[in-house]
Amino acid sequence: LSEWEAEDFLSSLLSPAASLSDFSSSDSCLVLHDHTYSLSQQHVSIDLDGGNYGKEGAQTTPLRVEEPAEQEIARLILTDEEKRLLEKEGLTLHGTLPLTKMEEQVLTRVRRKIRNKKSAQESRRKKKVYLGGLESRVLKYTAQNLELQNKVQLLEEQNLSLLDQLRR
């Protein structure tokens, strides 16, 4: 998957759907905007009966699981370009997840514009490189053509000289 496809997929996962009503409210923030994933405490399991995997005498430190009250509220982090385009369209987002359907559509449209802009820039860059290559080939072949024309002229002069010698 490309970065853009993954972004669209995750955006679609964040949109409210009827199937999400089965989950408890503590699970509603499993996916954060910056694509880091958090797991609610009820889904954490640690195998403490696994045996000794380290050296003799090695100490193990238990994992610390944050309580829901300690966890950060899922925040929407926008890039400067996203902020600028949203401002240009006269829109502001409240900055916390989950977003409303309209806000998701606006954000998706803004991100699509950014992707299209980057794609157009890359396309123009590739075109410039390609045209530069074509121009250098034209120069090379023009020089080669001139060299061959000079060679033809020299051979024609030698041919006339040899024909002149044969007539004598």
Place of tokens 């403490």: 48
For residue 118, what pLDDT is reported?
96
Q: What band does 43 get if pLDDT is binned at 50, 70 and 90?
A: low
CB 7 within 8 A of CB 111: yes
Query: Could you tell me what percent of the chain has a pLDDT over 90?
Result: 36
Return the domain boundaries, the chain. Answer: 3-123
149 or 36, higher pLDDT: 149
Is the pLDDT reported for residue 67 higher than 70?
Answer: no
Is the pLDDT reported for residue 15 higher than 50?
Answer: yes
Give the Cα separation of 30 and 35 in Å (integer). Answer: 10
8-22, 61-75, 82-96, 110-124: which is most confident: 110-124
For residue 38, what pLDDT is reported?
52
Examine residue 98 and say whether the peptide bond preceding it is cis (omega within 30 degrees of 0). yes
For residue 133, what pLDDT is reported?
97
For residue 21, what pLDDT is reported?
45
Map residue 39 onto helix, strand or coil: coil
pTM (2 decimals)?
A: 0.46
- Tens digits of per-residue pLDDT, 125-151? 999 999 999 999 999 999 999 999 999
Number of helices (H), then strands (E), in the chain: 3, 0
Give the Cα separation of 33 and 15 in Å (integer). Answer: 12
45 or 7, higher pLDDT: 7
Q: What band does 77 get if pLDDT is binned at 50, 70 and 90?
A: confident
